Structure 1
Amino acid sequence: MDTGKTIQLKRVFGYGWGTSFLIVNVIGTGIFVAPGGVLKYSCMNVGLSLCIWAVCALLTTMDALCSAEIGISFPCSGAHYYFLKRCFGSSVSFLSLWTTLFVAAGLAASQALLLAEHTIQPFYPSCSAPQLPKQCLALALLWLVGILNSRGVKEVTWLQTAGTALKALILGLISLSGLVLLLRGRKENVQRFQKAFDAELPEASQFIQAVFQGLFAYSGAGCLTFIAGELKKPRKTIPKCILTVIPLVTVVYLLVNISYLTVLTPREILSSDAVAITWTNRVLPSLTWVVPFGISASLFSNLLINIFQSSRVTYIAGQEVSIWSVLSMIGILKLRFQEPNLPRPYKVSLPFPLVTMAISLCLVLVPLVTSPHMHYIYVCLFILSGLLFYVPFVYFKLKLVGFEKMTCYLQLLFNICIPDVSDEQVSEAQTVSKKLAKF
């Protein structure tokens, strides 16, 4: 390299690509799976279920705007990691990466298997589709997405544009068909909305589970924080993308739910398991984890599909997301108190982190008090299991024989290098200020 040049990611993505990226992340499996869960835990109360979708949109917006402050204050890829490390130390940031690693890979594998199952099943109308074709198609999908993602930005942009257009088309057709039937005014189509709030109200624990189901459909709204280092003018791009996408997605979700309720009865919706698929990984090393994980998962396809279709996965994932949301909100407040002079080109209104933290705490604690279950223990054990690797290999810096050499070979193979901006430099307010001045 020439003297004076630094190694860092290029800021090549603007508002259009950021909006597309956010849409692809948010609109996925959730809108096809969550409506049944929201109805189930709202005691078939149609009016309440629609209100829950609106509430989830509001919660998602507040959380995403709080994440925007993190991504703009630390405008580098992996901003959330640097933020947690600065606020709570390396152990908490490591556990965050630990949970993300497995949750992201597990969801990708499960989605591939579900999409493969629903693609092949129409060819076997009188019986269940055999396992081998489903497994082969799931692996082919994982490899296809992995290859396209690893080739470069142009291929990724094409893939995301195609995915966005396909999802918009599917959801548009669903919404349009339901609205047409509703406007025709047929009795069987409108009677479900005439007494929408007449059903019984759910208990507190059921209501929270319904909220978890709805939030699952909005998951991914804070994903721009993880690619802040590749966005042009993150100070403007991140908030604009969030305030464009989430209201748009909310309207689409409400129209889709109205269409579902127009065409199907609540019980028919509960038995519906239509599914869509989303992949957003673009970094080659991450794909080397997702694709092999998908190959391994295909050997246990029945188990994973049953787990993914169950409401337990959204409940456990919701608990985990709520825990990290609470820590993030505490971190925002902590930095504002301890480091008031830290450059913050974008500063979210104080009630947002306070309300988000309070609601996330309720989502974690109320079910624990009203209906304790083993799921809570599973979530805690899963998060804390990362300490089994953190303590020996990070805290005590234990080195395995050949590990450094293997790391070197992998860096050469995947063309990976450490950016010139170190963790400590990113943490310094002066460094952040200089970065923001350039963009």
Structure 2
Amino acid sequence: MLIKNMQLLRSIGFFHGNILLFCVTTGAGIFVSPKGVLKYSSLNIAVSLSIWAACAVLTIISALSLAELGTTFPRSGAPYYFLKRSLGSSVAFLSLWIKFFMYPLGIATQSLIISTYIIQPFYTRCPAPELPKKCLALAILWSLGLLNTRGVLTVAWFQTISVLMKITILCFISLTGIVLLGIGKKENVAKFENSFDAELPGASQIAEALLQGLFAYSGTSILINIAGEIKNPGENIPKALITVLPMVAVVYVLVNISYLAVLTPQEIISADAVAVTWMDKVIPSMQWVISFGISTSIVSNICCTVLSASRLFYTASQEGQLPLIFSMLNNYFSPTVAITQIIILASCLIIASDLINLIKYSGLATWVLRGLYMIGLLKLRYQDPNLPRPYKVRLPFVFGSIAISLFLILTPMIHSPKIEYIYGFIFIFSGLLGYRLHVHLNQRSVCFDKITCYLQLLFNVSPPEDQDERISTGKKHLEEIFL
């Protein structure tokens, strides 16, 4: 039996929007990226801190530019829908292709980070075994998947609770660093003296360091991805970005100063869990507390990422580029099948990996998409200047975002070309081949419709009522099969 009047609800206001944005931004990055930023800054402390400040500015420019997408098309999966509207179905499918792998990769990486932080204190003299780390990561991952099936408002309340733990941990690390520098111990202050006299990195290294630092700000598009569930998105999305991102930037710089006040650059780049190593130096007996607190804070980040990814799959299904079952909702108005698919893909990716390389390649794909968004924004402004735009970003921000994307993508390839970059671009643009196959194989199959019906019964989901004509036709066809 199909449930009528199903659709995503606009239940996220300004307060919960700020909570979601803060949670997803301050996730695994601040505990992982300092290692990569310092490495590619040639262990230059002054350059490293400058990179973090530059990342804050670049993130704010990019986020405010993307905000126009979510306010002009206030629906879930707005970036995907925007690309289809502005640059066509093939480019929209390319973004879907990239994120279909990138989202599970990020979720799997963060799950492994959490398990490492929880288990490592029990193995103080050696690295933690891989098997228990993987098992714990899988348990956490599936628990968060179940939480997401309870609806966006449940996720928002969960984030409200977890954000208190996150703020406590970050403030403790930041204030401790300030106190240590204020006391003026010679070994703490000496690292910052004459720091600009150290070796300076080249242009390609700066680009690599920026990619590492920008990873810590990844997730700023969460509100654009769930724009269809935000109250008054034209006002709340820009206000949340302006409120939260500068605050996060200040916290990030202070946390990095604290790391550098306690640890040497060599200790930071050799540490798998920087914050745990930092606590081991400050209060060794409380190492397990910081591990648990950091793990809890990263859990909230994964939860938001699953939420964001499921809305992308939901919209792609409505637009006919994923099976219809991905856009069906359960009794909590949540796309259960899309969430399950993301969790399964992430589970397959929970394997031992080099986090620095993962950050680099996911960052490359992210900025390819950011560049496409800005090109589409300019094209749509030219083609449809009278389209209602509750929030309109200034053109210097748009061109600045395009310049940032080109610098981060091209500089490492020109100055230090590696075969890995070729592989990365082959993967990205193989999505165009996937699109051609999708177009040719997009034939209606009675067998496939029956599978969809069985999955609909298994997950107890129903098609939403806000589908376009193509989806409505498909819904009618499914109802006929049931009857």
What is the TM-score with the length of structure 2 in the denominator?
0.81
Alignment of 1:246-261 (within 5 A): 246-261=245-260
Aligned to 1:326: 371
Contact map agreement 1:71 1:80 (CA 8 A) in 2: yes
Long gaps (5+) in structure 1: 426-439
Residues 416, 109 of structure 1: alpha-carbon distance in 2 compared, 3 angstrom cutoff: farther
Structure 2: distance between partners of 1:99 and 1:211: 21
Does 1:288 pair with 2:340?
yes
Offset, 1:367: 1.7
Counterpart in 2 of 1:199? 198
How much does 1:334 deviate? Answer: 0.8
Choose 211-220 or 394-403, whichever is displaced more.
Answer: 394-403
**Structure 1 position 338 matched with structure 2 position 383:** yes
Q: CA deviation at 1:343?
A: 0.9
Deviations 1:157-181 (A, max 9, x none): 2321233222211111111111110
Structure 1 residue 136: Cα displacement? 2.2
Give the Å deviation of 1:95: 1.5
TM-superposition CA deviations, 1:57-105 (whole Å, max 9, x none) = 1111111111110100001111111110011111111121121121111
Is 1:313 aligned with 2:363? no
The letter of the residue matching 2:411 is: V
Q: 1:272 deviation in Å?
A: 2.1
Query: Quick check: 1:9–1:229 contact (8 Å CA) kept in 2?
Result: yes
CA contact (8 A) 2:413 2:421 kept: yes
Q: State how far apart, in whole Å, the 2-side matches of 1:371 and 1:419 are.
A: 51
Aligned position for 1:375? 420
Structure 1: which amino acid aligns with 2:426? L
1:63–1:222 Cα contact (<8 Å) kept: no
Residue 291 of structure 1 aligns with an amino acid whose one-letter code is I
1:286 maps to amino acid: A
Query: What residue is the counterpart of 1:394 in the other structure?
Result: 439
CA distance in 2, matches of 1:373, 1:68: 34
Q: Which residue identity lines up with residue 348 of structure 1 in the other structure?
A: V
**1:437 matched residue in structure 2:** none
Equivalent AA in structure 1 for residue 367 of structure 2: S
Hey, what's the Cα distance between the residues in 2 that align with 1:376 and 1:423?
A: 41
Query: Is the 2:174–2:255 Cα contact (8 Å) retained in structure 1?
Result: yes
Alignment of 1:190 with 2:185, yes or no, is no
- Deviation per residue, 1:219-241 (Å, 9 max, x gap): 11122111000000001100011
- Determine if contact 1:9/1:230 at 8 Å carries over to the other structure: yes
1:355 corresponds to? 400
Taking only the aligned residue pairs, the percentage that are identical comes to: 50
RMSD: 2.2
Conserved? CA contact 2:6–2:462, under 8 Å:
no
Give the 3 Å change call, closer, same or farther, for CA 372–401 of structure 1 in structure 2: farther
What CA distance in whole angstroms lies between the structure 1 residues aligned with 2:400 and 2:46? 24
1:156 aligns with 2:202: no
Q: CA deviation at 1:395?
A: 4.8
Equivalent AA in structure 2 for residue 131 of structure 1? E
Distance in structure 2 (CA, Å) of the matches to 1:70 and 1:155: 26
Deviations 1:231-276 (A, max 9, x none): 0000110001100111010000000011011111111111222275
Q: Residue 317 of structure 1 aligns to which amino acid in structure 2?
A: S
For residue 33 of structure 1, what is the aligned residue in structure 2?
Answer: 32
Q: Which moved more, 1:119-128 or 1:364-373?
A: 119-128
Q: Secondary structure of the residue that 2:226 maps to in structure 1?
A: helix
Deviation at 1:418, TM superposition (A): 4.0
Distance 2:96 2:462 in 1: 19
Cα distance in structure 1, aligned partners of 2:79 and 2:465? 17
- Give the secondary structure class of the aligned counterpart of 2:7: coil
Return the alpha-carbon distance in structure 2 between the equivalents of residues 220 and 131 of structure 1.
Answer: 28
| Unaligned segments of structure 2, at least 5 residues | 274-293, 308-334, 472-483
2:230 is aligned to 231
Distance verdict in 2 for CA 1:416–1:163, change over 3 Å: farther
Residues 213, 315 of structure 1: 8 Å contact kept: yes
C-alpha contact (below 8 Å) 2:36/2:209 kept by paired residues: yes
For 2:174 and 2:121, locate their aligned partners in 1 and report how far apart those are by CA, in whole Å: 23
How far 1:295 sits from its partner (Å)?
A: 3.4
Determine if contact 1:17/1:157 at 8 Å carries over to the other structure: yes
Q: 1:132 to 1:358 in 2, by over 3 A?
A: closer
* Cα deviations by residue, 1:40-71 (Å, 9 ceiling, x for unpaired): 11112211211111111111111111111010
Q: What secondary structure, in the 3-state scheme, does the structure 1 residue paired with 2:112 have?
A: helix
Q: Provide the rounded CA distance (Å) in 2 between the counterparts of 1:208 and 1:133.
A: 36
Alignment of 1:415 with 2:414, yes or no, is no
Verify the 8 A CA contact 2:336 2:461 in the aligned structure 1: no
In 1, Cα distance between the equivalents of 2:133 and 2:35?
25
CA distance in 2, matches of 1:96, 1:72: 20
Q: Report the counterpart of residue 129 of structure 1 in structure 2.
A: 128
Instruction: Tell me if the contact between 1:205 and 1:367 (Cα under 8 Å) persists in the aligned partners.
Output: yes
Shift of 1:287: 2.4
